[in-house]
Amino acid sequence: MLGYTITQWLFGILSFLAIMFALMVVFTRNPINSVLYLVLTFFCIAGHYLLLNAQFLAVVHIVVYAGAIMVLFLFVIMLMNLNQDTEPQKTVISKVVAAIAGGLLLFVMVGALRGSEQLQIKQYGHSDIGLVKNLGNVLFHDFLFPFEIASVLLLAAMVGAIMIGKKEIK
Amino acid sequence: MNATNTPMDYLPIVMMFLVAFGFVATTMFLTHKLGPKRKTKIKLESFECGIHSEGNARLPFSVKYFLVAILFVLFDVEVIFMYPWAVNFKDLGLPGIIEVFSFIILLLVGFYYLLAKKALRWED
pLDDT in tens, B29-64: 999 888 888 888 777 777 666 677 677 766 777 778
Q: Report the alpha-carbon distance of residue A73 to residue A155 in Å, rounded.
A: 21
Could B66 and A137 be called an inter-chain contact, meaning their C-beta atoms sit closer than 8 Å?
no
- For the cut 80, the answer to whether the pLDDT of residue A60 exceeds it is yes
**Which residues in chain A are contacts of B63 at CB distance < 8 A?**
79, 165
Taking an 8 Å cut-off on Cβ atoms, the answer to whether B61 and A69 are in contact is no
CA angle B93, B96, B97 (to 5 degrees): 90
Q: Which of A134, A135, A159 to mutate to test the interface with B (most CBs of B within 10 A)?
A: A134
Mutate to test the interface with B, among A133, A138, A144, A167 (most CBs of B within 10 A): A133
Percent composition of chain A: helix, strand, coil (DSSP 3-state, to 5): 75, 0, 25
How high is the pLDDT of residue A105? 95
Tell me the nearest-neighbour CA distance from A112 into chain B, angstroms.
30
Closest CB to A51 among B7, B107, B110 = B7
pLDDT at A145 over 70: yes
Q: What pLDDT is recorded for position B1?
A: 46
User: What fold, for B7-116?
Assistant: Methane Monooxygenase Hydroxylase; Chain G, domain 1 (1.20.58)
| Confidence band, pLDDT 50/70/90 cuts, at residue B65 | confident
- pLDDT at A143 (0 to 100): 86
Of residues A85 and A70, more confidently modeled: A70
| pLDDT value of position A78 | 79
The ipTM value here is 0.71
Burial classification of residue A30, based on how many CB atoms lie within 10 Å of its CB (0-12 exposed, 13-18 middle, 19 or more buried): exposed
Query: Fold for domain A1-84?
Result: Four Helix Bundle (Hemerythrin (Met), subunit A) (1.20.120)
